[in-house]
Amino acid sequence: MRSVLLSFLSIFLFAAAAHGQRDLGVRPTETGGPLSYEQAAYDVYYYEIDVNVDPKERSIIGDLLMTGRIVHPTNVIVVDLDTPFQIESIENWMTPVKWERRGGKIWIKLPQTLQAGEMFSLRTKYSGKPRVAPRPPWIGGFMWEKTPSGADWISVALQNDGADLYFPVKDHPSDKVDGATMLITVPDPLVVAAPGVLDRVIKNKDNTSTYKWEINNPIPNYSLVFNAAPYRVIKDRMKSVAGDYIPIEFYILPESYEKGQKLIDETKKYVEFFEKYLGPYPFRSQKLGIAETPHLGMEHSTMLAYGNKFQYNAHGFDWLQLHELGHEWWANLVTASDWRDFWIHEGFQSFMDTLYLEHIGKKDAYFAEMRNRAARTRNMQPVAPREQKFAYEVYLAAPDFVASDGDIYGKGAVVLHTLRYLIGDDAFFRALRRMAYPDKEMEAKTDGSQTRLVNTDDFLTIAEEESKMELGWFFEVYLRQPKLPKLVLQLVPGTLNLHWETPNNMPFPMPVDVVIDGKTQRVEMKDGKATISYTGAVPTVDPVGWVLTSK
């Protein structure tokens, strides 16, 4: 169990160090947050990303075609692009337009005001040396590394800083494009791994090759990354619970090749686990891709970044691969529309990480890990605040940006664990599956219509419908404000009085298990109070740790 806890804790410690350095000037850019009118006025439909990569100079030359649709009338469009890049030109439908650089944003003047529903097409040619990631993957950028044999090994991580670190983009989670084309040119003999399906490889006369990847499902902009190395490719497939087959491709370093099939075999077990509880693997029309990376890992849709060095814990599974694969459901199938709801990615998946212990027959380990997660909660900011947030803010727990906070992971997982107790397994697991796929018809779809943007209230509605219970009080206490409820016990001979203390006296009719004379019974607390009579030994309250409380 200790190895599992250390593995889970390591990602939080690295993230804490990373996010704690933002005020020191380490974090390169912001992603998300409130949208200006000039950005909210349009929706990006498609990106065509054409990038020539020079590892010797650590530079790129880019040609980005953005196709979009106007939502509100505007004659100005604002896109994000990091400051190290120089812009050569910007065109709308092949006609040059006026533009102005304001830090990391480009203000583009259209010839006339476009009306709601009208399409536009912006081509931006740019070049420069992208930022080197100071602490990948949590602080993003490019990695210019070497493989064990000395070959170039290029990787990109963008999640917490945004895709503007390497191409012009509307850098907000609500703008999840319908599809994309990626044309990545690298020196031979490097091989490019990217999202979607590999359409072709073009051999160029200058000893470079262009890899064309087609993505035909909606995708978060931070997943539009690539990795390049002298990869070998292991191909496999497995049958989905939906009845069709999932292509599996592992882009692996030659030095690791002999270890690759074992990880694929393990991954198949993880897919079966997720499909059991959440429904079919969402991107069967694309692939289940894995790319070996020099950083720990990231949930890039259809091409998971994997850098855990093929380590299996004491329970026999690779926690990193399990975690990142689960994000194909909680991040890529179901995507938070704003970073304020990022716990839907990390809290839901952290719950699934822990549920896997129960799935493999280790329910005691499941409870032990939930108790450990509960003990590590910081409770310094809401897990699901109502205000719009930048990505870095959902990890932070203090105004000075120094104290770090992993509550969207661990506390989010324990909140779901407590909800499971409250509404029961049947209702809870139905709600979990409906949050992934609202209905059976969507489970059969692979054309992209199975994906959607969500927020915390969506899950509240689903949980209430499945449980036939009013649950607003539960979400208000655990997710919308930071402090935990406290269960106060008052013991007098033969009587145990219980009552909940909550921030600002918020309603909290949370039941608890109590062991009386060796028997466990559920004690309802409809007004936040209960009185129990007993004989013999003093009753034990919540013996296994179902309910998240202040200690």
3-state secondary structure of 84: coil
Phi, psi of 527 (to 5 degrees): -105, 20
Q: How many CB atoms lie within 10 A of CB 490?
A: 10
Residue 453 CB burial class (10 angstroms; 0-12, 13-18, ≥19): middle
Quote the CA–CA distance of 192 and 323 in Å, as a whole number: 24
Nearest by Cα to 194 from 208, 215, 163, 178: 215
Q: Which class would CATH give 2-8+331-478?
A: mainly alpha
Specify the pLDDT at position 394.
Answer: 87
Residues contacting residue 66 through CB under 8 Å, at least 6 positions apart = 44, 46, 47, 79, 121, 122, 123, 124, 168, 169
Report yes or no: 188 and 208 within 8 Å, Cβ to Cβ: yes
Quote the CA–CA distance of 62 and 99 in Å, as a whole number: 18
**CA dist 69 to 115, 171, 217, Å?**
9, 16, 18
Residue 340 CB burial class (10 angstroms; 0-12, 13-18, ≥19): buried
Q: Which residue carries 């139905």 as its tokens? A: 430
Q: What is the largest CA-CA distance in the chain?
A: 89
Domain regions of the chain by residue span:
2-8+331-478, 486-541
**CA dist 428 to 345, 365, 409, 418, Å?**
17, 20, 19, 10
Specify the pLDDT at position 404.
Answer: 52
Helix orientation angle between 425-436 and 410-423, rounded to the nearest 10 degrees: 130
Q: What is the pLDDT along the chain (551 residues), one digit of tens a residue?
A: 333 333 333 333 333 333 333 333 455 678 999 999 999 999 999 999 999 999 999 999 999 999 999 999 999 999 999 999 999 999 999 899 999 999 999 999 999 999 999 999 999 999 999 999 988 998 899 999 999 999 999 999 999 899 999 999 999 999 999 999 999 999 999 999 999 999 999 999 999 999 999 999 999 999 999 999 999 999 999 999 999 999 999 999 999 999 999 999 999 999 999 999 999 999 999 999 999 999 999 999 999 999 999 999 999 999 999 999 999 999 999 999 999 999 999 999 999 999 999 999 999 999 999 999 999 999 999 999 999 999 888 875 434 333 456 799 999 999 999 999 999 999 999 999 999 999 999 999 999 999 999 999 999 999 999 999 999 999 999 999 999 999 999 999 899 999 999 999 999 999 999 999 889 999 999 999 999 999 888 999 999 999 999 98
Report yes or no: 143 and 181 within 8 Å, Cβ to Cβ: no
Report yes or no: 190 and 230 within 8 Å, Cβ to Cβ: yes
Specify the pLDDT at position 396.
Answer: 59
Quote the CA–CA distance of 211 and 213 in Å, as a whole number: 6
Amino acid identity of 17? A
Quote the CA–CA distance of 165 and 133 in Å, as a whole number: 10
Taking only the tens place, the pLDDT of each residue in 488-528 is: 999 998 999 999 999 999 999 999 999 998 899 999 999 99
Specify the pLDDT at position 517.
Answer: 86
Report yes or no: 1 and 361 within 8 Å, Cβ to Cβ: no
Quote the CA–CA distance of 80 and 117 in Å, as a whole number: 22
Specify the pLDDT at position 399.
Answer: 40
Phi, psi of 24 (to 5 degrees): -90, 5
Report yes or no: 89 and 195 within 8 Å, Cβ to Cβ: no
Quote the CA–CA distance of 370 and 224 in Å, as a whole number: 34
Taking only the tens place, the pLDDT of each residue in 88-98 is: 999 999 899 99
Taking only the tens place, the pLDDT of each residue in 18-60 is: 333 333 345 567 899 999 999 999 999 999 999 999 999 999 9
Report yes or no: 448 and 179 within 8 Å, Cβ to Cβ: yes
3-state secondary structure of 221: helix
Helix orientation angle between 257-278 and 343-359, rounded to the nearest 10 degrees: 100
Quote the CA–CA distance of 363 and 269 in Å, as a whole number: 18
Nearest by Cα to 171 from 36, 75, 58: 36
Report yes or no: 482 and 379 within 8 Å, Cβ to Cβ: yes
Amino acid identity of 153? W
